[in-house]
Amino acid sequence: MPSPIVTKKKPSAEGRRNLRNGLLFASPWLLNLVVFIAYPIAASLYYSLCTYDTLRPPRWVGLENYRILFTEDPLFWTSLWNTLYMVALGLPIGMVISLSIALLMNQKLKGMAFYRTVFYLPSITPVVATSILWMWLLNPEVGQVNRLLAQFGIQGPGWLTAPEWAKPALILMGLWAAGGSMVIYLAGLQDVPQQLYEAASLDGASSLTQFRHVTLPMLSPVILFNLIMGLIGGFQYFTQAYVISKGSGGPQDSTLFFALQLFNAAFLDFRMGYSCAMAWVLFLLTLVCALAVFRSSARWVYYGGEAR
C-alpha cells in the first residue's frame, strides 16, 4: 500500500504576522543576549588565547597564557588556595549558622516577625559599608571585638593584620549577612508538613531524631540551592577583600583571592588576555564543583519523600 503523500502547509499571512510580532517583542531580549552575553563570552575566550593590553590589537599566542598561569605565576596558586579555603571552610560554616538561625526564627513566639527582620537587614546592607564597619570592629587596638575579648582576659589577635587571622576574620564578617540564606531556609522549614512531626512524635522520636530524619530530608532541596549559590559566590569572592586590603591582597597575600588577582591583572597590569584566561579557569573550576554537587545530590536530596 503506497504511503500517503504529506504536503507541508504554507504558513498563513496571520501566522507570519504573529511570528514577526513575536520576534519584534522578543528583540530587546535577543539583542541583550547577543550583545551583552554571547559576544562577551566569545570575545573573552578569544582574548584568553591572545596577548592583549587594550592599547594594541590582540596578538594570537595560543595556550601561552594558560601555560604561564599554571607554571610561572605563583600568585595564581596563592589566590586559588585562598579561594578554596573560603569555599571549603567559610561556606559550610555559613550554611550551618544560617540554618541554626532559621530554626530559631521558625518558633511560634510573639514578636518573631521583628526578630526575623533584624536578622535579615544586614544581608541587604551594602557590602562596602559593612566591610568598612567591620574594619573598625576588628581593629586590633581600638576595635570593639578585641575590647570585648579583653573583658574575659583574652588578648585579641590582629584580625586583619596577621596573615593567619585574615581569612578567619573574613569568614566572621560573612556571618554578619547570614540572614539572606536564613530567609530561604525559613521558607523551606515552613513548607515541611506538620503531619510528619506528629507521626514521628507518636513513634517516640526525640527532637534530634526528628531534625535528622524529618527536617533535613525535607529541607534538602533548599540546602542544595543554598550550597550551589554559596559555591558560586565563594569562587567569586571579591568586594570585602578589595575594600579591606585596598586591592593589595594583604597581609602577605593572605586575602588575595582569585577574583581579586583577576581584577588586578586586568585593570592594574592591563593584561587583558591573561585575565581572560584566569576567568575561564575560574569558570571551569566553578562548573566542575557545581556538577560534582549536582551529581552527589542524587544520594541526599529528596523531593516529596523520594530520592532523586
Other C-beta atoms within 10 Å of 223: how many? 20
- At 171 the pLDDT is 95
Query: What's the pTM?
Result: 0.88
- At 55 the pLDDT is 87
CB 192 within 8 A of CB 219: yes
- Write the single-letter amino acid at 46: Y
Model confidence at 308, pLDDT cuts 50, 70, 90, reads very low
Report the distance separating Cα 257 and Cα 85, nearest Å: 10
pLDDT tens digits, one per residue of 141-196 = 889 999 999 999 999 899 999 999 999 999 999 999 999 999 999 999 999 999 99
Q: In angstroms, how far is CA 188 from the centroid of its own chain? A: 19
% residues pLDDT > 90 (the chain): 80
Classified as helix, coil or strand, 51 is strand
Cβ burial, residue 8 (10 Å; 0-12/13-18/19+): exposed
Question: Is it true that domain 74-307 has CATH number 1.10.3720.10?
Answer: yes
pLDDT tens digits, one per residue of 238-271 = 999 999 998 888 889 999 999 999 999 999 999 9
All structural domains of the chain with their residue ranges = 13-64, 74-307
Q: Where are the beta strands (DSSP E) in the chain?
A: 50-51, 59-60, 302-303, 306-307
Provide mean pLDDT across the span 53-64.
93
Q: Region of 246 please: left (phi>0), alpha (psi -120 to 50) or beta.
A: left
Classified as helix, coil or strand, 165 is helix
Cα-Cα-Cα-Cα dihedral sign, residues 135, 139, 142, 145: positive
Model confidence at 4, pLDDT cuts 50, 70, 90, reads low
- At 6 the pLDDT is 52
Cα-Cα-Cα-Cα dihedral sign, residues 291, 296, 302, 307: positive
